[in-house]
Amino acid sequence: MGIQEAWFVVIAVLFLGYFVLEGFDFGVGMLFPVLGRTDTRRRVLLNTIGPVWDGNEVWLITAGGALFAAFPEWYATMFAGFYLPLLLILVALILRVCAIEWRGKIDDPTWRRRCDLGIMIGSWVPAIVWGVAFANLVRGVAIDADKQMTSSLFDLFGPYALLGGMTFALAFALHGAVFIALKTSGEVHADAMKVAQRLTLPTLAVIGVFVIWTQTAYGKTWTWALVAAVLAALLGVIATIRANREGWAFTFNAIVILGFIGLLFASLFPNVMPSTTAAEYGLTIYNASSSPYTLKVMSWAAAFSAPVVLLYQGWTYWVFRQRISTEQIPPSIGLKLGSGK
């Protein structure tokens, strides 16, 4: 494996880690209207992700930085061509951050409802748009000889891309429901398992169609193994949810997410942005990468820093592993709008 191939794998792993970890964060926010029927229950939901959600976003920041440094041509063409979708994701993520951080600053029901709406929007929008974006990367977009993307915004919302958006959204919603069940007890836990059970069949149907479409249109012979793994893991999710084994259900659903997003990257390789204008205009890991020297320096830096970051994040999950219930949530105490104390 050459150094360009290795860095393609690194970037794929970073996005896989981001979607598995941030996926349940999105899912929790997406399920606010269903599982957060009272303010106390919504605070329980927020407390399940409170210690970890901002750390999970570091995977995206690292993936973006690695993409910029390792494959600058890929970064430039994608961010220029996908400017509006990526801007929409950024605005939605900022809205979610502000809503989570500021929700408890003012003890006012209207303020909290507006923040809850921001959390929901900031969870649904990135989940859908990420799916649309990655589906377009695999399908290919119009790129000219100057490596400029010429597809219009409306060209990005074809049937395959929209199915990708639905796939990401349903996978993350189910991931969030199972995570809530894993992290809570009492009535919230019971309701989360019911929601997870209702989500299993539509999720199985949509993801099944998406992975088979991806494989038949863009996949390789060996990636049928990933399709089989995704479908088997989906059946595992259904079986373990019905058996009330939320820990195993969470594990199987993580495998589902790893499988279908891994299928996207595997189908893409060695391209990074195929061109529908002419095949020779497409970007590959070879014509879009930095110099070998730059990649070698990055490899040494990653070898020293990555283990420290992984150990710290693993320690955070271990420390905050306890379940949460509504009985553990104290009364709301905050500053009222306009008060000076």
In a domain, 318, yes or no: no
In a domain, 176, yes or no: yes
- d(Cα 120, Cα 30) in Å, to the nearest integer? 5
CB 285 within 8 A of CB 5: yes
In a domain, 333, yes or no: no
Does the pTM surpass 0.85? The reply is yes
Fill in the DSSP letter of residue 104.
G
In a domain, 312, yes or no: no
In a domain, 307, yes or no: no
CATH number at residue 222: 1.20.1630.10
In a domain, 256, yes or no: yes
- d(Cα 319, Cα 141) in Å, to the nearest integer? 45
- d(Cα 250, Cα 236) in Å, to the nearest integer? 10
In a domain, 258, yes or no: yes
pLDDT tens sequence for the chain (341 residues): 799 999 999 999 999 999 999 999 999 999 999 999 899 999 999 999 999 998 999 999 999 999 999 999 999 999 999 999 999 999 999 999 999 999 988 888 999 999 999 999 999 999 999 999 999 999 999 999 988 999 888 889 999 999 999 999 999 999 999 999 999 999 999 999 999 999 999 999 999 999 999 999 999 999 999 999 999 999 999 999 999 999 999 999 999 999 999 999 999 999 999 999 999 999 999 999 999 999 999 999 889 888 988 998 899 999 998 899 888 777 765 544 333 33
In a domain, 80, yes or no: yes
Instruction: Please name which of 255, 217, 264, 215 lies closest in space to residue 234, comparing C-alpha atoms.
Output: 255
Provide the residue range defining the domain that includes 143: 3-289
- d(Cα 102, Cα 335) in Å, to the nearest integer? 11
Domain count, the chain: 1
- d(Cα 41, Cα 11) in Å, to the nearest integer? 37
Fill in the DSSP letter of residue 340.
-
